[in-house]
Chain A
Amino acid sequence: MEQVWANAVVWVGLALLASIISWRIGVSVALVELLVGIAAGNLAHPQLTEWVDFLAAVGALVLTFLAGAELESATVRRFWKQSLLLGAVGFMAPFGLAWAVAQFVFRWEVHAAQIAGIALSTTSVAVVYAVMVETGLNETPVGKLILAACFVNDLGTVIALGLLYTSFGVTFWLFVTATIAAMVVLPKVTPPLLRRLNSHPSEPEVRFLLLALFAMAFLAVRGGSEGVLPAYLVGMVLADTFLANRDLVKRLRATTFALLTPFYFLRAGSLVSMKAVMGSIGIVLVLFLAKSVAKMGGLFPVGLALRFTRKINIYNTLMMSTGLTFGTISALYGFRNGIITRDQYSVLVVVVIMTAIIPTLIAQTFFEPKGQERQLLFEVKGGK
């Protein structure tokens, strides 16, 4: 037990350090945790134990659920054609190009190359939202459209991750049936349950949600799939319920951010070998370019078809080129299941970190819509 507490001190110490750095520099704690994890993993080698792995896995699961629950269903319904088109292209173009580059240029094994494709196909609703809040663009119709498209993009990523490596046996179909049942039943039973249990000090609502997520994750893994798939789908169908229960989101997020996601991001970072990254700088740059070029080549023509102005089109393309959480989740899935090596994992995580930072900086510096440009967007989209 002594060793367990000693490990806990190290990991929670790193989590606190990341939190303080995040607070001081105004950068999301997730990114800081990844970077602190990389530094710790390469310099201090904190011990990875089963309980660390478990907390990290739960962190990824709940984080994915929260991401799904952030869907604005009304916006997706309103712009379903456009968001579906942008989201589908935003997923497929980088998925295909990064896969092809990894397989045919760098000679990665086919499944490893697919992981590269999945990890780099993502975008980040949260990163995009944070940028948009700064300009108020999140309140405009096209801001909402871009966020909805990001959501659809990530749905593609999660589905690919959940289905690409499964064997489609009996247990898989059982999992599919259970997921569909959960997607139908949970939106019906959860709201009355929340009203009934609301605010009891023992937090029964949070426990209920964790139970549902753990059960779905068990069935997913048993069926040869991945737990994040049902977590995202269940989050989606409960999004409206959560929108009406912001306090519950806050409590769930507080638990998750305090104890679970630090383990996920620190662990994900600690597995990155900087030696491998330094020895593969060329691969890192080419994969980053592959994602960026694919997003640009795929999304820009779609933006033209949707009659975005040139500046907004580039802004949207850059925003949808971001990625963080699902990129690391995908890479970690590949590493944990022996699909990619640690060196390949290291390369992918560093590329994912670059995609969180570089497109955002370029978009904010050169293509941020200002004043009338935002109004023009409104007219172009015709949304009222």
Chain B
Amino acid sequence: MFTRIVLAYDGSEGAKLALDRTVEIAAKAQVLVLAVGRIPEYAETVSEVDEAKDQALRHYKTAVDEAVSAFRRVGIAAEGRLDFGKVGDTIVRCAEEFGADLIVVGTNPHTALKRRILGASADKVVDRAHCSVLVVRGGPAG
């Protein structure tokens, strides 16, 4: 069974489904609930970056805390973390640092066009992760 699991979590419907699946398989595992804040690339000022960080902290703190509580309520050891960067890359990096043997990511529906232009974070994680990846399917794709 998996012993160290990273759950990528942003509070979306897809992420909540991923949380439910993780609870089912993580009975004896240590879980890291990870939210990733986006930093504007090629920034204009340092304060712009700092403000993006502050906004991400405000936005994700409650969601991560709730997810951690959900695990702890059922006796699963869990901790929360907020990191910054490109979502897919950051999930992979944090999973390596955590020594994860499983990454769980939810997906949210994307239109085909958006998926082609922006790519999907779950795709990047599957492509680059050092360990197994469980992709929990959300709503129907466009």
Point out residues on A near B: beta carbons under 8 Å.
22, 25-31, 63, 66-67, 70, 124-127, 129-130, 133-135, 246, 249-250, 253, 257, 261, 324-325, 356-357, 360, 370-371
Q: Please, which residue of chain A has its CB at the minimum distance from the CB of B85? A: A134
Instruction: Point out which of B42, B51, B97 has the most chain A C-beta atoms below 10 A from its C-beta.
Output: B42
Q: Is the CB of A324 within 8 A of B42?
A: yes
Contact of B45 among A26, A66, A134, A246 (CB under 8 A): A66
Q: How many A-B residue pairs have CB under 8 A?
A: 84
- Least Cβ distance of B135 to chain A in Å? 22
Residues of A within 8 A of B42 (CB): 27-28, 30-31, 124, 127, 130, 324, 356-357, 360
- The 5 tightest CB contacts between A and B, nearest first, are A134-B85, A30-B44, A130-B43, A126-B43, A70-B46
Q: With A133-B53, A370-B93 in contact, do A27 and B46 touch (Cβ < 8 Å)? A: no
Interface residue B111 (Cβ < 8 Å from any Cβ of A): no
Q: Does B130 contact A (CB under 8 A)?
A: no
Other than A63-B44, A130-B49, give 9 A-B pairs with Cβ distance below 8 A. A27-B42, A30-B42, A127-B43, A129-B49, A130-B41, A134-B84, A134-B90, A261-B44, A325-B44
Q: Which residues of B contact A70 (CB under 8 A)?
A: 45-47
CB proximity of A234 to chain B, nearest CB, Å? 16
Minimum distance in angstroms from B4 CB to a CB of chain A? 16
Q: How far is A129 from B43 in the complex, measured between Cα atoms in Å? A: 8
| CA gap between A70 and B45 in the complex, in Å | 8
Which residues does chain B contribute within 8 Å of A250, judged by CB atoms?
47, 51
Q: What would be 30 A-B contacts, judged by CB atoms less than 8 Å apart?
A: A22-B40, A26-B38, A26-B41, A27-B41, A28-B40, A30-B44, A31-B41, A67-B45, A70-B46, A124-B42, A126-B44, A126-B46, A126-B48, A126-B49, A129-B43, A129-B46, A130-B39, A130-B40, A130-B42, A130-B43, A133-B85, A134-B39, A250-B51, A253-B45, A257-B44, A261-B44, A325-B44, A357-B42, A360-B41, A360-B42
